[in-house]
Amino acid sequence: EGRLMAGKRGVVMGVANRSSIAWAIAQACAAQGAEMAFTYQGEALGKRVRPLAESIGCDLVIPCDVSDDAQIDEAFSVVEKRWGKIDFAVHAIGWADKQYLRGRYIDTPRDAFLKAMDISCYSFTAMARRAAAMMNPGGSLLTLTYLGAERVMPHYNVMGVAKAALETSVRYMAVDLGCDDIRVNAISAGPIMTLAANGIGDFRYILRWNQINAPLGRNVTQKDVGSAGLFLLSDMGSGVTGEVMHVDCGYNIIGMKNPEAPDL
Ligand code: NAD
């Protein structure tokens, strides 16, 4: 079997709809023979996720709100009962109150800060611990981050702070799990129009700015991120851990607006 993910099983958390980055990664893995379980937040999304999962031959679709430890425990115990072991897990989950994804970061109140940190950062640690406990050697964990963790991006605010913590957690967990031959990585994706992105102020302007200034002269697609995810989740990425890999058409290397670019 020449397929990269043949015989591999994984858990994918964070599919909301067809536009979700998690779905693009799942499709790339399915095309290479992976078998997957999907978790979703709330029954409204469950209705969307179930047919998507079925379209790639997956029937394990489990509710899991990651703000609740009991739900994470339950989701992984369902997967363990079915498969015993897994080979990979994808965390494509982020959330902050929309109200604070505009204006000044400094105005973020404590409860909004903690909630953003809980859902966008701690949930990866919480799921990684459960996933790693049932992972075969050669296993791979993956999360999604954004350049707003490294640089100040307009309106990203508390999400940027949470993503910085998430990226650091990737490095700590890479050390924790390296001795078990489990890898932990993040993809720092360029802006893509998804449900989550919709909550960020002036998102269309951000898309246009990136397109004009990225070395590749375009925005990334879900497919670009799906392929990179496949690489990190498969044995092709066997030497890569603790890495935050930019999949952003090169935007992160740019120091200044392209003077040739048209005005926005
Ligand atoms: P999306 O809206 O499709 O996915 C976000 C997911 O998070 C949804 O499935 C939602 O149900 C889930 N979620 C939120 N709170 C949850 C909770 N309490 N419990 C369980 N699930 C919860 O959007 P997306 O853009 O595909 O986002 C996936 C990841 O990619 C996020 O971490 C996001 O920050 C990151 N990312 C997105 C972009 C972008 O421009 N779209 C860029 C870089 C990184």
Check 100, 105, 122, 146 and give the catalytic one.
146
pLDDT in tens, 86-110: 999 999 999 999 999 999 999 999 9
Q: Which atom in ligand 1 lies closest to the alpha carbon of residue 163?
A: 34
Q: Is 156 among the residues known to form the active site?
A: yes
**pLDDT the model gives residue 180:** 98
Distance in Å, CA 159 to ligand 1 centroid: 11
Confidence of residue 53 (pLDDT cuts 50, 70, 90): very high
DSSP 19: T
pLDDT in tens, 148-180: 999 999 999 999 999 999 999 999 999 999 999
Distance between CA atoms of 241 and 232, rounded to whole angstroms? Answer: 9
Query: Scanning the structure block, which residue is given the tokens 């994706």?
Result: 189
What share of the chain has pLDDT > 70, as a percent?
A: 99
Which stretches of the chain are assigned E, i.e. beta strand? 9-13, 35-40, 60-63, 86-91, 135-145, 182-189, 244-247
Comparing 263 with 50, the larger pLDDT belongs to 50
Distance between CA atoms of 152 and 83, rounded to whole angstroms? Answer: 42
How far is Cα of residue 192 from the mean position of the Cα atoms in its chain?
A: 12
User: What is the pLDDT of the chain when averaged over all its residues?
Assistant: 96
All structural domains of the chain with their residue ranges: 9-250
- Which of 15, 18, 20 should be mutated for ligand 1, with most atoms under 8 A from CB? 20
**pLDDT the model gives residue 199:** 82
Q: Is 172 among the residues known to form the active site?
A: no
What ipTM does the predicted assembly reach?
0.99
Q: Does the pLDDT of residue 48 top 90, yes or no?
A: yes
**pLDDT the model gives residue 263:** 76
Distance in Å, CA 93 to ligand 1 centroid: 4
Distance between CA atoms of 252 and 26, rounded to whole angstroms? Answer: 25
Q: Does the pLDDT of residue 225 top 70, yes or no?
A: yes
Mean pLDDT of 41-45: 96
Confidence of residue 261 (pLDDT cuts 50, 70, 90): confident
Q: Which atom in ligand 1 lies closest to the alpha carbon of residue 120?
A: 32
Specify the CATH superfamily of domain 9-250: NAD(P)-binding Rossmann-like Domain (3.40.50.720)
Mean pLDDT of 110-115: 98
- pTM equals 0.98
Distance between CA atoms of 200 and 60, rounded to whole angstroms? Answer: 32
According to the annotation, is 47 in a ligand binding site? no
**pLDDT the model gives residue 1:** 54
- Residue 185, SS3? strand
Mean pLDDT of 70-89: 98
Distance in Å, CA 13 to ligand 1 centroid: 9
pLDDT in tens, 125-143: 999 999 999 999 999 999 9
What share of the chain has pLDDT > 90, as a percent?
A: 94
**pLDDT the model gives residue 141:** 99
